[in-house]
Amino acid sequence: MSSAKEPVAVIGAGLMGSGIAQVFATGGWPVALQDVSAEALERAVEGIHRNLAFLVERGLGNEEAVESALARISITTDLQEAAGGAAFVVECVFEDMSLKQEVFRTLDACCPPETVLATNTSVMSITAIASRAERRERIVGTHFWNPPYLIPLVEVVRAAETTPETMDRTVAILRAAGKHPVRVEKDVPGFVANRLQHALWREAISIVERGIADAATVDECIRYGFGLRLPVLAPMENADMVGLDLTLSIHDYILPHLEASPEPSPLLRQKVETGDLGFKTGRGFQEWTAEQAQASRDRLLAYLVGVIAGKEGENDRAG
């Protein structure tokens, strides 16, 4: 699939769908982007243009490559037109089970039997999303992260009936598109990365709730401490590095003291009930002016672009 650059279709042109269309179009695939809303399609193309221009400003890519990528994207409100000739389809509609089930039933009926059908659901069961389709063996999860054109990871999730061939073809096309696909062998809530992420968030919120440290301090402990080494030394390698004997004795001591509640934190619930929702209301765990909120978003983008530019520089030096 990867060598011939067979057509890709992206269903749903919101935040994720537009970013995923951008990934494939930049990589040289013809992309059909579909949405029920013509307005959403227009916004998506504008957004992709803005993202690509931003990358050029930061030294990634050039005007000519932007024009070629945009020229590879076609837009339509007709699902069959978008997906009927595609070799790989990524669904990115609203996170709604019956909507997704219906989209997959239709995709299954209108795509050739060899087309791989992927869902970008963040949390829902892929096995359930596939349940109204007939050829469920070609349905797979591809969990991209936001922004999909900057975050390399895509979790490729095996649903109950996904075949090894579907997993392999999905991994191959994502790798060819410059992503970092990983195989998740069980269709479980949170897949791998959100389970890890929210285990950390649960403890972070619990520390604030128990008055051990305030929210800013919790983040400082990560940003200036173990967060710095995470990109090069993550927990499984770190455990081997310090020794499993030491890891066992630390866990013997500390695990009984860590948050283990199966419910969201009462502090989190209370903040939501009082309308303290974070950046969008000016107050969450901390206070935020509009300028501070924007600075935080800008910092993240600048950081991610810097990481990608660094990696491209490494590849250039290696190649």
Ligand X SMILES: NC(=O)c1ccc[n+]([C@@H]2O[C@H](COP(=O)([O-])OP(=O)(O)OC[C@H]3O[C@@H](n4cnc5c(N)ncnc54)[C@H](O)[C@@H]3O)[C@@H](O)[C@H]2O)c1
**14 in contact with ligand X (CB under 6 A):** yes
**16 in contact with ligand X (CB under 6 A):** yes
Rounded Cα–Cα distance for residues 149 and 19 (Å) = 6
Q: Of the candidates 10, 11, 48, 139, which one interacts with ligand X according to CB under 6 A? A: 11
**270 in contact with ligand X (CB under 6 A):** no
The residue (of 51 and 120) whose beta carbon lies closer to ligand X is 120
- 143 in catalytic set: yes
Residues 101-130 that bind ligand X (CB under 6 A): 103, 120-122
Q: Of the candidates 62, 68, 146, 294, which one interacts with ligand X according to CB under 6 A? A: 146
Minimal distance, residue 112 CB to ligand X, in Å: 20
The residue (of 20 and 208) whose beta carbon lies closer to ligand X is 20
Q: Which residues contact 70 (CB under 8 A, 6 or more apart)?
A: 25, 45, 48, 49, 52
Q: Which stretch binds ligand X (CB under 6 A): 5-13, 56-64, 200-208, 276-284?
A: 5-13
Angle at which helices 266-273 and 193-209 pack, to 10 degrees? 80
Rounded Cα–Cα distance for residues 133 and 107 (Å) = 8
Q: List the catalytic residue out of 6, 194, 209, 312.
A: 194
Q: Give whole-number Cα distances, 165 to 83, 85, 131, in Å.
A: 20, 20, 19
Instruction: Give the DSSP letter of residue 226.
Output: I
Q: List the catalytic residue out of 122, 125, 131, 265.
A: 122
**22 in contact with ligand X (CB under 6 A):** no
Contact by Cβ (8 Å): 208, 201: no
**What is the longest distance spanned by two Cα atoms in the chain?**
59
**177 in contact with ligand X (CB under 6 A):** no
Which residues pair with residue 29 across a beta bridge? none
**94 in contact with ligand X (CB under 6 A):** yes
The residue (of 95 and 168) whose beta carbon lies closer to ligand X is 95
Q: Which stretch binds ligand X (CB under 6 A): 34-42, 193-201, 273-281, 309-317?
A: 34-42
- 165 in catalytic set: no
**40 in contact with ligand X (CB under 6 A):** yes
Per DSSP bridges, beta strands 88-91 and 73-76 are: unpaired
Question: For ligand X, how many residues bind (rule: CB under 6 A)?
Answer: 23
Q: Of the candidates 28, 37, 274, 281, which one interacts with ligand X according to CB under 6 A? A: 37
Q: Give whole-number Cα distances, 275 to 94, 198, 205, 229, 283, in Å.
A: 24, 22, 17, 35, 9
Q: Of the candidates 8, 9, 17, 173, which one interacts with ligand X according to CB under 6 A? A: 17
The residue (of 36 and 212) whose beta carbon lies closer to ligand X is 36
Dump the DSSP string for 197-224.
HHHHHHHHHHHHHTTSS-HHHHHHHIII
Q: Give whole-number Cα distances, 97 to 111, 236, 313, in Å.
A: 21, 34, 42
Closest residue to ligand X using C-beta atoms: 14
Per DSSP bridges, beta strands 153-157 and 139-144 are: antiparallel
Helix %, strand %, coil % of the chain (to 5): 55, 10, 35
Minimal distance, residue 198 CB to ligand X, in Å: 14
**93 in contact with ligand X (CB under 6 A):** yes
Q: List the catalytic residue out of 18, 91, 120, 143.
A: 143
Minimal distance, residue 251 CB to ligand X, in Å: 31
Which residues pair with residue 283 across a beta bridge? 278, 287
Residues serving a catalytic function are: 122, 143, 155, 194
Query: Can you give the binding site for ligand X, defined by CB under 6 A?
Result: 11-17, 34-37, 40, 92-95, 99, 103, 120-122, 144, 146
